[in-house]
Structure 1
Amino acid sequence: MFLKSYKIFTILLILIVSTTAFSQTTKEVSREWVAFTQEIDVKTDKKVKFKLRANLKTVGIKSNSAATLYAWVKNKTEESGFSESVQDSVLKNPQWTPYEIQGYFDEAAEKLTFGAWVVSDGEFYFDDFELFFQKEDGNYEPVTIANSGFEEKVMDDTVPGWQQDVDKEENIIKVKGYTFHSSESKHNGKLALMILGNGVKNNPASNINTEEGFTPQIGTLVSMLNNLSNRVERVVKGLDIRQTDHLLDEKANRIGALIMHLAAAEVYYQVYTFENRAFNKEEKEKWEIGLDLGDKAREEFKGKPITYYLDIYKEVRKKTIEELKKRNDEWLEGSWPGSTMNNHFAWFHVMEHQSSHLGQILMLKKRIPEEENDIKLPEDKVDQ
């Protein structure tokens, strides 16, 4: 623990270098990046400036290969603290290069996290981490960093003194394609840290590709449609009925109703673009309430689990994909009778519509109160 009281500013800093002990359980995941960090508790009643320095070298293989130095201040409040990163990539300079981040934390700060991450295939080197806090006289005082020059050797893919990826239960996360090594290709001392990325897989959730089995433009359209629907499902799939049915106010829509609305709107464009017609009577009765929302939807769409709405949503998407597979890029340029938009724009609008309501769903989800605070007394009991 480091403790000092400055004469003028009376700044109190409490620094505890994190030395997290990992459990023995390891989980393997696929993604394009891996990180290592240290975390320091910071408390102050004034603004404090800091500097983070390190030397990086990247021998990349792919166009997106890069090593990134970063610092992030976590505040006690919901307001974001300082955050910055600087990047070394094969497109710039594959030689040892010094990088520096100048930042600050203040009375709202809780923790300072710093370290680095790498992306994609390549050899990524790190050496000579340094951290400084500014004193009252304007000079900077060094702060101790565990294994700052990586002279303690990497053992069993673990970097001594540094925290690697862990989940909420503190199980080690092993990212496929990445391994950690001590390297004699150092900037100072005897050793440096080298992260090797070899066969790192792209994350489909953050890439738009041309889906197989479709013509090129339709294949790209399908990739974008599925990316959005997967995000919608991921956001809502864990909700219980209370959360699914929560009503923010008398004019709002429940999350379950919004999922039904997304399904109804997609069916609407299925009918127009695939069959060149409007809803028939049966379809109108089935989908109109979900399409229009409002008072009828608030009354209709409640008391059902989120899986009820997601099953309908996924069944609608299944038909969309089946129908798009029957069509080609030329069809995208066509329109249906009386339309002022072509088929391509219609399905772009389906994505635009889903993206808009995804933002609404995220906002509504954040406004759901804790269960114990969500109990409302009947009006006749309020004054008793």
Structure 2
Amino acid sequence: PNTYADQIEYFSRHVHNREHVAISLHPHNDRGTAVAATELALMAGADRVEGCLFGHGERTGNVDLVTLGMNLFSQGVDPQIDFSDIDEVRRTVEWCTQMPVAPRHPYAGDLVYTAFSGSHQDAIKKGLEALEVQAEAQGSTIHDIAWEAPYLPIDPHDVGRSYEAVIRVNSQSGKGGVAYLLKSEHSLDLPRRLQMEFSRIVQARTDSEGGEVDADELWRIFNSEFLERTEPYHLVSTTAASGSGAGDTVSATVRVDGKERTIEGEGNGPVSAFVDALGSIGVQVRVLDYAEHAMSAGGDATAAAYVECEIGTGDDSTVMWGVGIDPNIVTASLKAVLTALNRS
């Protein structure tokens, strides 16, 4: 590529009446360097490029105008080609040529905006979150600010793609991909240690069954593991009250192995009081970590609570996470404690 660019530069400098000459490039891809050679030759002074969409042409093909154009676009240079619906461009070319575009073809393949690797997923997740924070600070959207995300040279939205397939989960995936899908699809912002625990559960599923886990299947696994665990402990009703300087009290009706029990406890918060109440029926629980957040804005927002509990004492103790979702944050927290118990 550099030798080709040198030739273009030499010709451009020495040809007579340069201003009346259009230097047109017509590279082929016999050595796999057509795009690189074209980019360098354009920098060396060329005026025009002759190529083919997706690199069709003789032998190994002409320079790929899709890759070349989108490379320029990613660096802020308008290629003067409309790729805003790149899937339609691909379908048209595939129909005309009866040749499929490879799934990993730059910018247009099915998998090019997809990450399976755990470390890549984690980097993309953090990059997209940083863009959201930056966009919110500017009162804009991530589509309207300068794009900068790991492993994504362009905003998939610019070529008509969505973020739904950016992160996909299989046996190679780590906590980052699982956490991203739960947050983007279901507004659940899992604490780091819970991310690690749930990713191991998902990985065990993909190892045993093979293939991928999509967002719907991921939610079914999460729901089954954390939200549908209502036995042997199930919260029927609860009442919490804040005392004046004497801490909080909780009165709850809990179904234990199908039999309802009314328990009461005190503590420095509703969760602490509930744990105290559980002690009255011989259930030993110690809260190690706690997090909560609203899942949406507004007065009728649903809340999610995450509680890490040590259940039991001494050598017989076990550490488990529980999750609770409810319009009432106190109820969500108490449900989370019982979920941890039911998983132990």
* Fold similarity call, TM over 0.5: no
Q: Which has the higher helix share?
A: 2
How high is the TM-score relative to the length of structure 1?
0.21
Q: Which has the higher strand share?
A: 1
Which structure is larger by alpha-carbon Rg, 1 or 2?
2
Q: Which has the higher contact order (CA 8 A, sep 6+)?
A: 1
